[in-house]
Amino acid sequence: MRTVIAEDSVLLRAGLTKLLEATGFEVVAAVHDADALLAAVEQHRPELVIADVRMPPSFTDEGIRAALVIRRQWTDVAIMVLSQYVEERYAAELLATRTTGIGYLLKDRVADVEVFLEALRRVAAGGTALDPEVVAQLLLRRRDRPTDRLTAREREVLSLMAEGRSNAGIAECLVVSESAVAKHINSIFTKLNLSAAEGDHRRVLAVLRFLEGTGAADRS
Amino acid sequence: MIRPYTVGSMSSGTTDTETGARALRRVLAAPWARRAWRDLGFTGLSAGLNLLPLLVMVLPWTFYTPISLLAVLTCTFVSVGAAVALCPWLTVLRRGCFYELLGVRIPKPPTIERSPDSSGGVWSALRDRLRSPRTWRQACYHLIVGPAVNVLGLLGALFWGAALTYLATSAVFWVLVHLVGSPEHLIWADAEPWIALLCAILLYLGPWIVSAAVRTDARVASELLGPSRAQELARRVAKLTESRAGAVDAADVERRRIERDLHDGAQQRLVSLAMNLGLARATLADELSEPARRALQEAHEEAKEALTELRELVRGLHPVVLEDRGLDAALSGIAARSPVPVRLTVDMPRRVSATVEAVGYFIVSEALANVNRHARATAVQVDVRLDGPVLRITVTDDGIGGADASRGTGLTGLAQRAASVDGSFGISSPLGGPTTIEVNLPCEP
Count the neighbouring beta carbons within 10 Å of the beta carbon of residue B20.
Answer: 16
Contact A85 B277 (CB under 8 A): no
Question: CB contact, 8 Å: B311 with chain A?
Answer: yes
Q: Which of A60, A88, A141 sits opposite B333 (nearest CB)?
A: A88
Kindly indicate the confidence band of residue B7, based on its pLDDT and cuts at 50, 70 and 90. Answer: very low
Residue B341 scores a pLDDT above 80: yes
Question: Which phi and psi angles does B399 have, rounded to 5°?
Answer: -85, -160
Q: What is the pLDDT of residue B33?
A: 79
Walk along chain A (220 residues) and give the pLDDT tens digit of each residue.
899 999 999 999 999 999 999 889 999 999 999 999 999 999 999 999 999 998 888 888 889 999 999 999 998 999 999 988 887 778 878 887 777 889 999 998 999 998 999 999 999 998 888 888 877 776 665 444 566 677 878 888 888 887 778 888 889 888 889 888 888 888 888 877 776 665 556 776 677 666 654 433 333 3
User: How close B404 gets to chain A, by Cα (Å)?
Assistant: 29
Question: How many CA atoms lie within 13 Å of A157's alpha carbon, on the beta-carbon side?
Answer: 26
Question: Which phi and psi angles does A66 have, rounded to 5°?
Answer: -65, -40
Give buried/exposed letters for B172-201 (b at 16+ CB in 10 A, else e): ebeeebeeeeeeeeeeebebeeeeeeebee
Counts for chain A of helices (H) and strands (E), in that order? 10, 6
What pLDDT, in 10s, does the model give residues B76-121? Answer: 888 888 888 888 888 888 888 888 888 888 888 777 777 776 666 7
- Measured distance between the N- and C-terminal CA atoms of chain B, rounded to whole angstroms: 45
Q: Is B388 left (phi over 0), alpha (psi -120 to 50) or beta?
A: left
**Do B442 and B389 touch, CB atoms closer than 8 A?**
yes
Contact A12 B307 (CB under 8 A): no
Predicted complex: ipTM over 0.90: no
Residue B436 scores a pLDDT above 90: yes
Hey, which residues 123-142 in chain A have their CB within 8 Å of chain B? Answer: 133, 136-137, 139-142
Question: CB contact, 8 Å: A26 with chain B?
Answer: no
Q: Which of A60, A89, A110 sits opposite B329 (nearest CB)?
A: A89
Count the neighbouring beta carbons within 10 Å of the beta carbon of residue A159.
Answer: 21
Residue B5 scores a pLDDT above 60: no
Contacts of residue B426, defined as CB under 8 A and 6 or more positions apart, other chains included, come to B437, B438, B439
Q: How far is CA A75 from CA A81, A99, A126, A217, in A?
A: 16, 12, 11, 22
